[in-house]
């Protein structure tokens, strides 16, 4: 079992819709969780971090964490074509950050 799992996609949503990206992790003791966005040809850019169960909102982005289910998600409201990118879930575990394989999001006009 991979340490951090994501559906590779692509996830296609129309402009203005909510995009929902999901991630599961295997190590129960993980405490810190991150979402990065990576445009083609660019390095990863941090979008959100979350440490406690529940929701954390930042603008159009909402991160959700459920430690009991070992599940973290990212919601993007009012999706824009500029949101089209690969979204990487990352889990901080014993002094290192482990990445999922990423989900490719396509937002079409």
Partner 1 sequence: SAVISQKPSRDICQRGTSLTIQCQVDSQVTMMFWYRQQPGQSLTLIATANQGSEATYESGFVIDKFPISRPNLTFSTLTVSNMSPEDSSIYLCSAEDDGNTIYFGEGSWLTVV
Interaction site with partner 1 (CB under 8 A): 32, 34, 36, 42-46, 49, 88, 90, 92, 95-102
Distances in Å between the Cα of 48 and the Cα atoms of 14, 103, 109 are 23, 15, 25
How far apart, in whole angstroms, are the C-alpha atoms of residue 98 and residue 51?
15
How far apart, in whole angstroms, are the C-alpha atoms of residue 23 and residue 94?
19
| Residue (13 or 44) nearer to partner 1, CB | 44
Q: Check if the beta carbon of residue 80 is closer than 8 Å to that of residue 59.
A: no
| Residue (44 or 107) nearer to partner 1, CB | 44
Nearest-approach distance from CB 100 to partner 1, in angstroms? 6
| Residue (5 or 17) nearer to partner 1, CB | 5
Nearest-approach distance from CB 92 to partner 1, in angstroms? 6
Nearest-approach distance from CB 30 to partner 1, in angstroms? 12
Closest C-alpha among 25, 18, 29 to residue 2: 25
How far apart, in whole angstroms, are the C-alpha atoms of residue 85 and residue 44?
10
| Residue (8 or 66) nearer to partner 1, CB | 8
Nearest-approach distance from CB 14 to partner 1, in angstroms? 26
């Amino acid at each position: 079992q991979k340490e951090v799992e994501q559906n590779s996609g692509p996830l296609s949503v129309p402009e203005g819709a909510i995009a929902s990206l999901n991630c599961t992790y295997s190590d129960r003791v993980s405490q810190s969780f991150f979402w990065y966005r990576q445009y083609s040809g660019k390095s990863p850019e941090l979008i959100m971090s979350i440490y406690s169960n529940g929701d954390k909102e930042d603008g159009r982005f909402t991160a959700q964490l459920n430690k009991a289910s070992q599940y973290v998600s990212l919601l993007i409201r009012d999706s824009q074509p500029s949101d089209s990118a690969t979204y990487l879930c990352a889990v901080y575990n014993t002094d290192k950050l482990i990445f999922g394989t990423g989900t490719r999001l396509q937002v079409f006009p």
